[in-house]
Structure 1
Amino acid sequence: MIDEHAVDELSIETKIGQLLHIGIGLGHFETDTGWPAEEMADVVDELRPGAVRIYGTHRAGPYAMAEYTNCLQELADGTDHAIPLLLSADCEYGTVDIVGHGTQAYPSLMGRTATGDPDLAREVSAAIARDACSMGLSLTHRPVADVHTNPDNPVIGVRSPGTDPATVSQYATAALEGIHDVGGIGVAKHFPGHGDTELDSHHELPHVTDDRETIERVHLPPFEVLIEEGIDCIMTSHVVVDAIDPDRPATLSKPVLTGLLREDLGFEGVVVTDAMMMDAVAENYGVGEAAVRAVAAGADLVLTGYVPHEDLRETRDALLAAVEGGDLPESRIDRSVERILALKERAGATDRRRVDPVEALEVTGRETHRSLAREAYERSVTLLADDGLPIGGNDAVLLTGVRGVGALEPHFDRAFGPVVTCSLAPDGTRTSANSKPATEPTTDALQTVRTLAADVDRAVVTTYSREAFPESQRRLVENVAEEASTTVVSLGLPNEFSELSGVGYLGTYLQDRLGLPDPVPDAASQAIVGTLREPPAVRESLPIGDR
């Protein structure tokens, strides 16, 4: 049992260590085979972190991931304080986000909203949390509670449940309820709202220019509802909210984290920063300075991101120096540690210190999860325009586009007559967590697909946008549509729907800016093919709320 009231018995080094939420993966603290490296043991022993975030897609399966998390917990158990770790990952689409083999993908939050069924959304969220907990991940960084009000937003998109506060509140709450149903820990993000920005905080420092009334009316309600529902953690945004604190991003702002979140909204749980390695913070502050500012502002857990050992040491040393120098009262550190230890107790961290790898295989491989994913994908696909559907079983079909062609191809081969495929995204490989697959077809490719379209009965074109619809993709659709009856399958935000005419159109809300989940899951591919073969009634509007 973890006693949050025994904080006085911990050394100041151990207490500060509990505030560190360090990252592993993507070449940091892992061996070439994707296992925690010896350096990770040194990091845990020296810095005594309270939490570890796992990054990257590990190609091993659930059994190996359970062993991986057990290894991390064993490292913590070997320290002098032996306090278990909180182990986390994003898992917005399921544990497929970090375990690429033998795990189940589910629709994005916006896709779950498109089903029109909060109960189904809750079931999906519970299944994700059940999979994560079986592998030792008690804390998943979800639900997104940002209201997607800006169609030019480059970072939120389909990760948000929708475009108005009521819709976002309803479906974010359903997600939280599902997490709590199986004993998981929820993290609402990105406070006080990242939905009305035109910059990506991974790369730049965005500003929210809305007035205070708009913030309170549009962007805060989902967080207020989640606080009422008992959200465990809230993640900060690296966004400057001009109406509240025009000088600092929310992560480093006492008026935002203490004044607004703690005092005005009454949140008593754990405040965790977004990754401090993101350029919005890293390019403007030193790692140590940023950590001190965040804790002084009201943050409890400092998510470092996947950074080198020396950056972690600098973060710890800066916090220690701030306490010893009187800039951060030790009582302030104690309060954060109390919250963190209480969270670990609620998460059953001691009882779950070691998980059963065989059970992880059984949980993630259960048929009920696969059938739930199939149902969710089938109900999330939205037919917004019908250009002569259905596609017949003997029709010759051209399948082309900027994403997902390779994953869709075998499903098209089984469903239709002769299928010609032409992928215009030859390299979908990401070299880091924030690099993006190509989505810009070349001029030569446009001529190729036009020639191919002339020899088929029907054409299906995959598109992707997360802000303005790329002109090259518009030309792709227009070139194909001049030669064959065409249906567009939008894999991102359906921003382009109003800009296209004379074609069929399916919204899938499937992928975010990184192409996750990648490749297109089989269940999603089956849902797309099923809609093309047996189209439902055309929707009159997007089922994701009103802007």
Structure 2
Amino acid sequence: MRNLESLSLEEKVGQMIIGGFDGYQLSSELITLIEDYKIGGIAYYRRNIDNNEQLFSLSKAMQERAIEKVGIPLLISIDQEGGVVGRITDDFTLIPGNMALGAVGNLDLVYDSAAICAKELKALGINMNLAPCLDINSNPNNCVIGVRSFSDEPLKVSELGIAVINGYQNNDLCATIKHFPGHGDTESDSHYSMPIITQGIDLLYDRELLPFIKAIEAGVDAIMTGHILVPELDKNYPCTVSKIIITDLLRNKLGYEGVVVSDCLEMKGISSAYEFNDLVIKTVQAGVDLLFFAHGFENKIEAINCIIQAVKNGIIPIEQIDASVQRILDLKKKRNLESFIGNWEEAKKEIAKKEHTEFLLSLSEQSITLVKDENNKIPLNTNREVLVINLEVRTDTEIDIVFHLEETLGYYLKKYGCSVNELSYSIDPSEEDIEEILSFTTQYQNIIVTSYNTVKYENQRKLIKRLENLYKDNLIILAVRNPYDILMFEEIKTYILSYESNPVSMDSAAKVLLGKSIAKGNLPVKIY
């Protein structure tokens, strides 16, 4: 691999750009970015993934092109956090999300889950995961983190986060912790607006920053910035463009020597606050090494040209460019990116292996959490038909995945021998839907309703509240995302958590409901 001294200014700046593209193949635009602009990395999104063989072939083609034409391998990255966030959804071992892992709590199992994810991503030619989230979900109304967090306890987030980091990095997958300095204590989503963290400095160090400090001590490869304003750290600039936060705090005070990557600079929370060139220059001046652009082809090129001109004009010192690029090159060498599986027949043996799938099923079962069961409704009395009211989930943020599949909770209850009538309605049913649902309920003594971020959906709250008033002794709520839904329904007697709504989670929840397995999960956040 080429060294820093062999690179021109243009080649150095290209290495500082990472981001997304359109299509399933090595397009002319992608070739231009790799060959002409020497970009340092790419990021996969759902729009790039058709199937595993196609993804493997694309990774191989890009990497071979970069090594042959540039002499430096690409960082090939993806958001594969697990749970509600994942770009690869088919024929892949879909590890539970962070809060489900927090409910499991076993560090060895969490490490093993990350190792499995790393091995399968590496088999597909992916060498960097934009995970794990080390945000502490200290605000129950957080609309973008929630179940992407391990817990609301800083030490638990730290321990579980390090287990994931080690599971990735011990298998040569770059780990990227996020969103520094912590996105947990906010109610706004930086995809759309600028979150503001108003904590005092002592609480920031004791809570928000602690997992990042511990991860730095553990040797994490990369840290992603959050587009967050933290007045106690910098009154004027959000983290991504703050020299005080990136250089003075993260680099100098916390001693971090690895790669700093920005969150997507096209997100409205940051892009609406600055003119494009100003944003790019401020991000580099702050100390960010890799600038992330999820979308526009032209934006990547404009950013490269902007940085080159800023160096030539003396606005950005070449020494800063050199320091950033050296860190990027060091990471690529450390993780041996020039070495990857070159044959699909060999690679596919590592993906969705039987032992991986069996491990996933076991892990998912251990995450199911029974918060309360005052009337001993679980296991269900299978001599009576069960009514399942399934509120069909949808994406709550830009990064969510939703499984529109037949394998609902009712499907799995039937699979295990239970007589079920399942009604499926919108996540926020209409008034007419509510009346229709209630007309079905009078003949049932076992009623299960799925809840999903109830605080956001007024009619979902209305429906469950009416069910609670009518059938509180017979009603079971299964929360399939954030665990805080019960705060809306204090008289509910039976409340169970799956943290996610994918088929494996519904399978696991059905087993617990029928007494085929025991709910072993421990609530990772405080809800009372």
Do the two structures share a fold, i.e. TM-score over 0.5?
yes
Aligned partners of 1:480, 1:530: CA distance in 2, in Å? Answer: 24
Within-5 A mapping of 1:23-422: 23-24=20-21, 28=22, 30=23, 34-56=24-46, 60-79=50-69, 81-93=70-82, 97-307=86-296, 309-352=297-340, 355-386=342-373, 387=375, 388-403=377-392, 406-408=406-408, 409-422=410-423
User: Offset at 1:543?
Assistant: 3.2
Correspondence 1:489 to 2:478: yes
Aligned partners of 1:172, 1:203: CA distance in 2, in Å? Answer: 27
User: Offset at 1:499?
Assistant: 2.7
Partner AA of 1:311 in structure 2:
N
Correspondence 1:455 to 2:456: no
Task: Deviation per CA, 1:359-378: give whole Å up to 9, x if none.
Answer: 33211121111011111110
Number of residue pairs aligned between Structure 1 and Structure 2: 511
Aligned partners of 2:338, 2:518: CA distance in 1, in Å? Answer: 51
- Within the candidate set 440, 463, 485, 1:476 is matched to 463
User: Offset at 1:452?
Assistant: 1.6
Partner AA of 1:521 in structure 2:
N
Paired residues of 2:56 and 2:125 also in contact (CA < 8 A): yes
Correspondence 1:10 to 2:7: yes
| 1:424 match: secondary structure | strand
| Greater CA drift, 199-208 or 415-424 | 415-424
Aligned partners of 2:476, 2:242: CA distance in 1, in Å? Answer: 47
Correspondence 1:534 to 2:524: no
- Within the candidate set 495, 511, 523, 1:505 is matched to 495
Aligned partners of 1:539, 1:56: CA distance in 2, in Å? Answer: 33
What is aligned with 2:400?
A: none
Give unpaired runs (5+ residues) of structure 1.
426-438, 511-519
Q: 1:400 to 1:293 in 2, by over 3 A?
A: same
| Greater CA drift, 483-492 or 334-343 | 483-492
User: Offset at 1:60?
Assistant: 3.1
User: Offset at 1:58?
Assistant: 5.5
Aligned partners of 1:68, 1:340: CA distance in 2, in Å? Answer: 22
Task: Deviation per CA, 1:343-366: give whole Å up to 9, x if none.
Answer: 0011111112x5432233211121
Aligned partners of 2:392, 2:143: CA distance in 1, in Å? Answer: 18
Partner AA of 2:232 in structure 1:
A
User: Offset at 1:419?
Assistant: 2.1
Aligned partners of 1:488, 1:469: CA distance in 2, in Å? Answer: 17
User: Offset at 1:233?
Assistant: 0.5
User: Offset at 1:252?
Assistant: 0.4
User: Offset at 1:45?
Assistant: 2.4
Aligned partners of 1:286, 1:371: CA distance in 2, in Å? Answer: 50
Partner AA of 2:495 in structure 1:
Y
Task: Deviation per CA, 1:277-308: give whole Å up to 9, x if none.
Answer: 1111111123332121111101000011122x
Partner AA of 1:382 in structure 2:
T
Aligned partners of 2:521, 2:62: CA distance in 1, in Å? Answer: 50
Aligned partners of 2:155, 2:516: CA distance in 1, in Å? Answer: 29
- TM-score, normalised to structure 1, is 0.89
Q: 1:538 to 1:132 in 2, by over 3 A?
A: closer
Task: Deviation per CA, 1:233-288: give whole Å up to 9, x if none.
Answer: 01101001100111111000000000110001000000000111111111112333
Paired residues of 2:498 and 2:506 also in contact (CA < 8 A): no
Aligned partners of 2:301, 2:16: CA distance in 1, in Å? Answer: 13
User: Offset at 1:491?
Assistant: 1.1
Aligned partners of 1:260, 1:416: CA distance in 2, in Å? Answer: 58
Paired residues of 1:383 and 1:538 also in contact (CA < 8 A): yes
User: Offset at 1:416?
Assistant: 4.3
User: Offset at 1:483?
Assistant: 5.1
Paired residues of 2:104 and 2:521 also in contact (CA < 8 A): no
Aligned partners of 1:384, 1:469: CA distance in 2, in Å? Answer: 22
What is aligned with 2:503?
A: 522
| Greater CA drift, 500-509 or 56-65 | 56-65
User: Offset at 1:420?
Assistant: 1.9
Aligned partners of 2:485, 2:333: CA distance in 1, in Å? Answer: 47
Partner AA of 2:429 in structure 1:
P
Task: Deviation per CA, 1:191-232: give whole Å up to 9, x if none.
Answer: 111111111000001111111111111111101110111001
User: Offset at 1:183?
Assistant: 1.7
User: Offset at 1:396?
Assistant: 1.3
Paired residues of 1:289 and 1:318 also in contact (CA < 8 A): no
Correspondence 1:424 to 2:425: yes
User: Offset at 1:342?
Assistant: 0.6
Correspondence 1:22 to 2:19: yes
Aligned partners of 1:173, 1:214: CA distance in 2, in Å? Answer: 21
| Greater CA drift, 177-186 or 411-420 | 411-420
Aligned partners of 1:293, 1:502: CA distance in 2, in Å? Answer: 51
User: Offset at 1:521?
Assistant: 3.3
Give unpaired runs (5+ residues) of structure 2.
394-404
| Greater CA drift, 233-242 or 382-391 | 382-391
Q: 1:493 to 1:303 in 2, by over 3 A?
A: same
What is aligned with 1:514?
A: none
- TM-score, normalised to structure 2, is 0.92
Aligned partners of 1:96, 1:201: CA distance in 2, in Å? Answer: 16
Q: 1:458 to 1:108 in 2, by over 3 A?
A: same
The sequence identity of aligned pairs, in percent, is: 28
Paired residues of 2:365 and 2:519 also in contact (CA < 8 A): no
Aligned partners of 1:117, 1:374: CA distance in 2, in Å? Answer: 15
Aligned partners of 2:350, 2:83: CA distance in 1, in Å? Answer: 13
User: Offset at 1:407?
Assistant: 2.7
Aligned partners of 1:59, 1:41: CA distance in 2, in Å? Answer: 18
Q: 1:539 to 1:96 in 2, by over 3 A?
A: closer
